[in-house]
Amino acid sequence: MIITGRVSSGFGEGAYFMTRDVYLEQFREKLGFEPFPGTLNIETGNPEIVRELRLKADKIHGGGGFGDVLYVRAVLNNEVDGALLFPVKTHHRDVCLEFVAPVNLRKTLKLRDGDTVSLKIMDDESSD
């Protein structure tokens, strides 16, 4: 599955949550990397896509007042392996995706708000 969307600014909360111990060890174990502290927000314009992806997602368990996070492996612009995160507790609209990777995506790919990006969603067979 390939999804396209536009880069948008978020709430600036991603860095805080990406560095919490309750998530960090599970990110390393389940995603295979330590995410750059922050997420790249991608507006899809289609809430159905977001709902469909959430149904396919695996879970990272929260604790200590932090909510669970669902995730789906993906590749951004056919260049950067990472994952889409779906925090159970979120302020984002239902058309927004949050992508994480081990690098600063805005700097690495020279992305700005409004740029169009593509996401290749990895299924169980293609992510191994």
Number of separate helices (H) and strands (E) present in the chain: 4, 7
Q: Is 63 annotated for ligand binding?
A: no
Q: Is 103 annotated for ligand binding?
A: yes
Q: Is 90 annotated for ligand binding?
A: yes
Q: Is 14 annotated for ligand binding?
A: yes
HSE, CB side, 13 Å, CA atoms: give it for residue 21.
1
Contacts of residue 68, defined as CB under 8 A and 6 or more positions apart, other chains included, come to: 59, 60, 61, 62, 87, 88
Q: Is 67 annotated for ligand binding?
A: no
Residue 75, token pair as written in the block: 């590749």
Query: Is there a contact between 63 and 47 (Cβ–Cβ < 8 Å)?
Result: no
Task: Report how far apart, in Å, the C-alpha atoms of 104 and of each of 19, 42, 68, 100 are.
Answer: 14, 15, 24, 9
Q: Is 10 annotated for ligand binding?
A: yes
Q: Is 41 annotated for ligand binding?
A: yes
Q: Is 54 annotated for ligand binding?
A: no
**What CA–CA distance (Å, rounded) separates 12 from 45?**
21
Q: Is 11 annotated for ligand binding?
A: yes
Q: Is 78 annotated for ligand binding?
A: no
* Binding annotation: 10-15, 39, 41, 90, 98, 103-106
Q: Which parts are annotated binding residues for Mg(2+)? A: 39, 41
Q: Which residues participate in the annotated binding site for FMN?
A: 90, 98
Residue numbers belonging to the annotated binding site for CDP:
10-15, 103-106
